[in-house]
Amino acid sequence: MSRTLLAVAAALFLLVLAAWLLSHVDLGGWAVPLALSISGAKAFLIAWYFMELHEARTSVRASVVAAILLFVLLVGLTAVDVGTRAPPPLLSPAGALR
Amino acid sequence: MNELFRRILWLPVQGSTVAGEVDALHYAVITITMIGATGVFAAALYFTWRYRRTDEAALTPPIRAPLLLELAVVGGLLCLFLLFWRVGFQQYLRLQSPPADAIEIYVTGKQWMWKFAYPGGQRTNARLVVPAGRPVKLIMTSRDVIHSFYVPAFRIKQDVLPGRYTTAWFEVVRPGVYPLFCAEYCGTGHSEMEAEVVALSGADWEAWIAGAEEESMAAQGLEVAARRGCLSCHTLDGQRHVGPSFRGLYGGVRQLIDGEAIADEAYLTRSMMEPAAQVVAGYAPVMPTYLGQLDAGEVAALVELIKSLRHPNPPPPGVDYPPIAPAAPTEAAP
Amino acid sequence: MYAPRLEEHFDELPKQRHAARLGVWIFLASELLLFAGLFALYFGYRLHYPEVFIEGVVHNGRGLGTLNTCLLLLGSVAAAAGVGELRRDRDGRARILFALGTLLALAFLGVKGTEYARHFHEGIAPGGSGAFFAAHREPGWPVFFTLYFAMTGLHAIHVVIGMLLLGAVAVWIGRRRPGRAGAHRAELAALYWHFVDAVWVFLWPMFYLLGGGR
Amino acid sequence: MSSYLGPPTTIRSWLFSTDHKRIGVMFLVATTVMLALGGVLALLLRIEHLTPGPTIMQAATYNRVFTLHGVIMVWLFMIPSIPAAFGNFVLPIMLGARDVAFPRLNLASFWIYVAGSLVTLAGVVASGADTGWTFYVPYAAETFTEVMPILVGVFILGWSTILTGINFIVTTHTLRAEGMRWREVPLFVWALYGTSVIQVLATPVLAMVLLLVAFDHGLGWGFFDPARGGDVVLFQHLFWFYSHPAVYIMILPAMGVVSEVVCTFARKVPLSYVAIAASTFGIAFVGFLTWGHHMFVAGMSIVDAGIFGALSMFVAIFSAIKVFTWVGTLYRGSISFRTPLAYVFVFLFLFVFGGMTGVAVASTSLDVHWHDTYFVVAHFHFIMVGGTLTAWLAALHYWWPKITGRRYAEKWGLVTCTLTFLGFFTTFFPQFLLGNGGMPRRYYLYDETYQALHVLSTAGSWALGSAFAITLVYLAWSLVYGERAEGNPWGSRSYEWLTSSPPPPHNFDGTPVFRHSPYDYHLPPGS
């Protein structure tokens, strides 16, 4: 087993521990962004070292960047819509949505 | 000029206050774009004729467009398009924000008909009667699938969604009858969901509203309250019972076990749907939730009933209360 | 001795290998977008029903989810190590590592199975059918668990495919003893497996950790 | 010298061939059949609208016919037509390669397309769905009609386009001929590259959302069921995230064809090679940012409406720069007016005319009036029929000698092109006015005041239909009686014309080395 592989594996398990510990703290609004950024860091480690993106050609890296960009775009703009909708005008029977 | 453009473009009459502006932007955008399109095509035709091939072996000059020219074209067009967007979005904001003093009418779209309910309790099908010259705000929901409230003459359209409320507003300029369509495909009868907006002038409107006073919303609210068992815990004359009385409830500041709240419509409807969320100090949180049992009309009627009782005066006639059960063993209020 | 076949329309082997690797990466990009739709629904509904989603996550508990995360992570390390060993012509160890990866995938599916069984036992079924939803009437509950089953289900299908790939590579190494020349093919299987692990890295907090600190 | 049409001519040798040229021809035949089928449904719709009331079918049938017209045209013709048919045939030759990067995957993509079409058409035969090609929930989840086979069929078709997309991207990266730098890659290859990027990244979202609707409809999982807390607008977000880039999947290959035809028949260097190639990627990327303009009145938040409105304007400038460059390329060219260029002129007029109405629809307040009316129907038909179909016809005529080794009758080509333009314009220009008048789309019955325009539109549709039929006739006729075409009938410098027509099985004898750019018309040939 190469040394970098072991180091990356250790880092990944540390991040798992960090995410686990953090989930016991009530961070309110910050919980989701923080958890996702930890996961982002783990995903980056997996992609950069395990999937050997560090020595991949630009065309491969471009496809990864494009996919991630569009993924964030879809989730982001959909969340912006739901987040910024006006509150229901007057009545909210049957738990009407915003 | 406006009338000329309107007829050429086959646009319906400008029935609402917003229609004039929207059409003005329409004329501007269509004229500029059509001039652009014909210009491009004319240039292409001219080049084809002017530079038609005369000699098979002719070579052509390797003309490369200067970057500046390209950026100018892109920049210029982008500014033009963003200008269209800016004006258009400003109008869209106006379309989406109903004025405060608008009359509220509840619209329910269901598979293949429109139903309208007025605050005064009148209910009409397929005929939305509105006063001309005054803003009207529509609070709309759907019973089944997505419909879309579309009045071409007013240049307004708003999807009507099941399980959610959407609003639209307009102010009719001249009394008259304007067709109302469903613009979102909703099944076999999609094209039969036609209805009409009847705009009446001031006097006719007052007559119509008075005449159609079949049964006020508050009276309906009373009937719903009796049928749903509200009166078994809430009295109408201000007397304390298992739950707080409806009399004098609306608009006041309510002392909750954990803070306080203004008793507005949102508070009332939330109390019906999630009673445990806002428990008034000194009362036991025993009220069951009515989530999913009351439909839009019933909740609206209950709210109107409570609103009609906000002035502390004698109770409406003809209401008898069940005997007050021995006080439930309420634990000491925290 | 194993020698990879040069396709007739390619000129030399490295170009053909780059083509294969680029092809797998672009396919993984499309697989990522396949999950994007469900992630958008999850965050959309989480904004609609924040309390219910927190309750749902608390209800799921952290135990099995965290166990699964560790299993997949170990599987990823095993696969990466397997490719490394194969590049050093150590076929034996590579085969063991890929077999270990396959077993870890199987363990993941086992844990996943017990979780689903526990949910069904509690009366939680996709679509909001089940006794659980009679007691929990807020409208957010059916959507949360339907999304839970859909996203973890789709991921489980990918784990199965990954497992079969790793198993096939393990068997192939055992039979053909390819050594360094075969590292390319093993690497492509490992790529897919790492992708499956990367997706779970996001699913884990969403369904097991984001419980508002409880 | 045997051509790819050559010795093995058994059905089996065609159906299981991994030769990109044969797969391209098979796609061409399959998509043409689907075009005809979709076209017949369109003619039925137009006949129905001759009178305000019921004319030849009931409401339920009408709803099925417009749904199937949409599904067949969008997924069975528009999306695979130029990339899968002409792209498969011409891209490897343009790059100087012997075949695409993954030939077996290419054949699998064709068979997945056939499987997907058969499943979809099974839904058609069963009784068809009446949900519209947009499958809006909750109606699509509740309808009693046969929506499931069509959902599954389109799900399968999605994977066919993804595989073709992967194939083209990898081929462009790894199989370019010796010494072909990125600046010498033909513009049609750039267009297909941009299209493939969208196909690979957008189609999975469609596949997932159709699957979710199928789960809602079949198993009642309630992803979008309002009664159980579902939000129907979220479906629209996911659907349009795919469906707007999908319209760029349809138009980008058409733009690639136009670039090729303009440069060949004007015999001139493109006014700016970089502008066209870069704007392809501009459209491909910004196309993903604009899906919200389909939902201005759908109950989306005002903030999002603002964001999407502004972003939609950026897409228009990339199309505008392409048109500017094409017209600029004609300047001081040596232009010979043949059928392909005639169709490009029809494209230019209709695409710019239709595209501009797109800019108008994207300025938010106008969309409130136009959304879901015949104005929008006219807008997207101007782009899809006026743009992609005319470019498809241009490509058909331009590469006909290369594919079949025969020349079509030029006179018939020009006559039919004029008839296509007149038929199209009479069909769809009145629909702009219908939309302004406020007639909603997908209406079975309509108000009498709209009848005059509908009759005019139906008459136009007959002319358009007959123009298409005539094209099929004279092209088929040329297959047997057409004169033989030599390698380079148009005198083009593009690489696919350097090999014989029809090309040999491995495209070139020996490995080709391209020392000149595909557009160096300012140098004597062969230098």
Tell me what percent of the residues of chain C surpass a pLDDT of 70: 100
Q: What is the pLDDT of residue D1?
A: 55
Q: What is the DSSP letter of B45?
A: H
pLDDT at B325 over 70: no
Q: Measured on CA atoms in the order D175, D178, D180, D182, is the torsion positive or negative?
A: positive
Residue D397, helix vs strand vs coil:
helix
Does the distance separating the beta carbons of D59 and B188 come in below 8 Å? yes
Contacts of C204 in chain A (CB under 8 A): 19, 39
List all residues of chain A from 62 to 91 with a beta carbon under 8 Å from chain B: 87-91
pLDDT greater than 70 at residue A89: no
Q: What is the Cα–Cα distance from D187 to B285, expressed in whole angstroms?
A: 72
Section D219-225 average pLDDT: 90
Q: Does B291 touch chain C (CB under 8 A)?
A: yes
Range of the structural domain that residue A60 is part of: 56-83
Greater model confidence, D525 or D220: D220
| ipTM metric | 0.90
pLDDT band at B314 (very low <50, low <70, confident <90, very high): very low
3-state helix, strand, coil in chain D (%, to 5): 70, 0, 25
Q: Is there a contact between D136 and D232 (Cβ–Cβ < 8 Å)?
A: yes
Residue A69 lies in a domain: yes
Instruction: Please give the pLDDT value at position D519.
Output: 87
In a domain, A6, yes or no: yes
Indicate whether A27 and A62 sit together in one domain: no
Residue from the list D166, D207, D215 with its beta carbon closest to the beta carbon of C26? D166
Residue A39 lies in a domain: yes
What digits encode the pLDDT tens for the residues C138-154?
A: 888 999 999 999 999 99
Residue C5 lies in a domain: no
Taking an 8 Å cut-off on Cβ atoms, the answer to whether A23 and C201 are in contact is no
Domain borders along chain D are: 15-498
pLDDT at B321 over 70: no
A82 and D231 in contact by Cβ < 8 A? Answer: yes
Q: What is the CATH number of domain D15-498?
A: 1.20.210.10
Is the CB of A98 inside 8 Å of chain B's CB atoms?
yes
Number of domains in chain C: 1
Instruction: Look at chain A and report how many structural domains it folds into.
Output: 2
A19 and A61 assigned to the same domain: no
Average pLDDT, chain D: 92
For the four alpha carbons of D50, D54, D57 and D59, in that order, the dihedral sign comes to positive
Q: Which amino acid is at A21?
A: L
Q: Give tens-digit pLDDT for C170-179.
A: 999 999 888 8
**B296 at A interface, C-beta within 8 A:** yes
DSSP B74-102: HHHHHHHHHHHHHHHHHHHHHHHS--TTP
- Say if the Cβ atoms of A91 and B269 lie within 8 Å: yes
Residues of A in contact with C214 (CB under 8 A): 26
pLDDT at A94 over 90: no
What is the structure's pLDDT at B323?
37
B266 contacts in A (CB within 8 Å)? 87, 90, 92
Q: Which of residues 8-67 of A touch C (CB under 8 A)?
A: 9, 12-13, 16, 19-20, 22-28, 31-32, 35-36, 38-39, 42-43, 46-47, 49-52, 56-57, 59-60, 63-64, 66-67
A45 and A2 co-located in one domain:
yes
D300 CA to chain C: closest CA distance, Å? 12
- Chain A nearest CA to C71, separation (Å): 11
Shared-domain flag, residues A18 and A45: yes
List domains and CATH numbers for chain B: 2-46+66-96 (no CATH), 103-211 (2.60.40.420), 217-308 (1.10.760.10)
CB pairs under 8 A between A and D: 50
Res. B322: pLDDT tops 60? no
Task: Answer whether D234 sits within 8 Å of C40, measured CB to CB.
Answer: yes
| pLDDT digit string, tens, across residues B146-171 | 999 999 999 999 999 988 889 999 99
Residue C208 near residue C65, CB atoms below 8 Å: yes
Give the residue with greater pLDDT, C74 vs B217. Answer: C74
- Residues in chain D closer than 8 A to A82 (CB atoms): 231, 234, 301
pLDDT, tens digit, 9 for 90 and up, residues D261-280: 999 999 999 999 999 999 99
What subunits touch chain B, counting only 3 or more CB pairs under 8 A? A, C, D
B with D: how many residue pairs have Cβ under 8 Å apart? Answer: 279
Mean pLDDT of chain A: 88
On chain C, the residues whose CB falls within 8 A of the CB of D176 are: none
Confidence of residue B179 (pLDDT cuts 50, 70, 90): very high
Going by pLDDT thresholds of 50, 70 and 90, the confidence category of residue D464 is: very high
* pLDDT tens, residue by residue, A19-52: 999 999 988 889 999 999 999 999 999 999 999 9
Q: Are strands B135-142 and B166-171 parallel, antiparallel or unpaired?
A: antiparallel
Q: Choose between D64 and B291: higher pLDDT.
A: D64
CB spacing of A81 vs D233 below 8 angstroms: yes
How many C-beta neighbours within 10 Å does residue D179 have?
Answer: 10
pLDDT confidence of residue D82: 94
pLDDT at D177: 85
Within-domain flag for A79: yes
A contacts of B165 (beta carbons < 8 Å): 88-92, 96
C214 is a domain residue: no
Q: Is residue C2 part of a domain?
A: no
Interface contact C19, partner A, CB < 8 A: no
Residue of chain B with shortest Cα separation from D52:
B191
Examine residue C6 and state whether it is found in any structural domain, yes or no: no
Asked, for residue A93, whether it belongs to a domain, the answer is: no
Torsional sign, CA D125, D126, D130, D135: negative
pLDDT at B212 over 50: yes
pLDDT band of residue B316 (cuts 50, 70, 90) is very low
Are A45 and A66 in a shared domain? no
- Which helix (H) or strand (E) is B166 found in, with range? strand B166-171
In chain B, how many H helices and how many E strands? 7, 12
D429 interface with B at CB cutoff 8 Å: no
pLDDT at B311: 62
B180 - beta bridge partners?
A: B195
Neighbours of chain C (3+ CB pairs under 8 A): A, B, D
Q: What is the pLDDT of residue A91?
A: 54
Q: Which residues of B touch C138 (CB under 8 A)?
A: 291
pLDDT (average), residues B280-308: 80
CB contact under 8 A, C37 and D229: no
Has residue A62 been placed in a domain?
A: yes
Q: How far apart are CA B76 and CA B64, in angstroms?
A: 20
Helix (H, G, I), strand (E, B) or coil at D171: helix
Tell me what the mean pLDDT of segment D413-429 comes to. Answer: 95
Asked if D331 has any chain B CB less than 8 Å from its own CB, the reply is yes
Round to whole Å and give the CA distance between D299 and B139. 13
Q: Which pLDDT score is estimated for B215?
A: 52
Residue C149 covered by a domain: yes
The amino acid sitting at B299 is: V
pLDDT of D254 strictly over 60: yes
In the beta sheet, which residues pair with residue B149? B158, B182
Predicted local confidence at residue D128, as pLDDT: 84
Angle formed at CA B315 by CA B320 and CA B319, multiple of 5 degrees = 20
- pLDDT tens digit string along C66-116? 999 999 999 999 999 999 999 999 999 999 999 999 999 999 999 999 999
Task: Give the angle subtended at the CA of B82 by the CAs of B79 and B83, to the nearest 5°.
Answer: 85
Q: For the segment D70-101, what is each residue's pLDDT rounded down to a tens digit?
A: 999 999 999 999 999 999 999 999 998 888 99
Q: Which range has the worst mean pLDDT, A11-15, B278-282, C61-65?
A: B278-282
pLDDT at D42 over 50: yes
The pLDDT assigned to C168 comes to: 95
Q: What is the mean pLDDT of the segment spanning B287-306?
A: 79
**Would you state the pLDDT for residue D109?**
96
More confident position, D237 or B57 = D237
Q: Which two tokens stand for residue B164?
A: 């959610």
A92 has a chain B CB within 8 A of its CB: yes
Q: Judge if A62 and A31 occupy the same domain.
A: no
CB D154, CB D186: distance < 8 Å: no
pLDDT at D521: 87
CATH code of the domain containing C31 = 1.20.120.80
Expressed as residue numbers, the domain containing C130 is 13-209
How confident is the model over C9-32, as a mean pLDDT?
90
- Residue A89 located in a structural domain: no
pLDDT at B327 over 70: no
Give contacts of D169 with chain A, Cβ < 8 Å: 63
**How far is the alpha carbon of D507 from chain B, nearest alpha carbon, in Å?**
27
The two structure tokens encoding residue D172: 């462009």
* Chain-chain contact of A97 with D234 (C-beta, under 8 angstroms): no
> What pLDDT shows up at residue A90?
56
B257: pLDDT strictly greater than 50: yes
Shared-domain flag, residues A61 and A17: no
Task: Tell me the mean pLDDT in the region C45-52.
Answer: 92
Weakest mean pLDDT among B257-266, B325-334, D232-241, D382-391: B325-334
Q: Model confidence at B120, in pLDDT bands (50, 70, 90)?
A: confident
Q: Region B177-198: what's the mean pLDDT?
A: 92
- Residues of chain B contacting residue C137, judged by C-beta atoms under 8 Å apart: 289, 291-292
CA distance A87 to chain B (A): 9
Q: What is the mean pLDDT of residues C52-56?
A: 93
pLDDT of residue A96: 55
The answer to whether C19 contacts D102, with C-beta atoms less than 8 Å apart, is: yes
Tell me how many helices (H) and strands (E) chain D has.
Answer: 19, 0
Please tell me the predicted confidence (pLDDT) of residue B324: 37
Q: When comparing pLDDT for A2 and D326, which is higher?
A: D326
Q: Binning pLDDT at 50, 70 and 90, where does residue C192 land?
A: very high
- Return the percentage of chain D with pLDDT > 90, whole number: 76
Least Cα distance to D21 among D399, D393, D339 occurs for D399
What's the CA gap between B280 and D476, in Å, rounded?
83
Same domain, A23 and A46: yes
Does the structure show a pLDDT above 80 at D391?
Answer: yes
Contact D175, D157 (CB under 8 A): no
Percent of residues, chain D, with pLDDT higher than 70: 99
pLDDT given at position B213:
54
Nearest CA in chain A to D240: A74
- Cβ-defined contact of D352 to B41 (cutoff 8 Å): yes
Total residue count of chain A as it appears in this document? 98
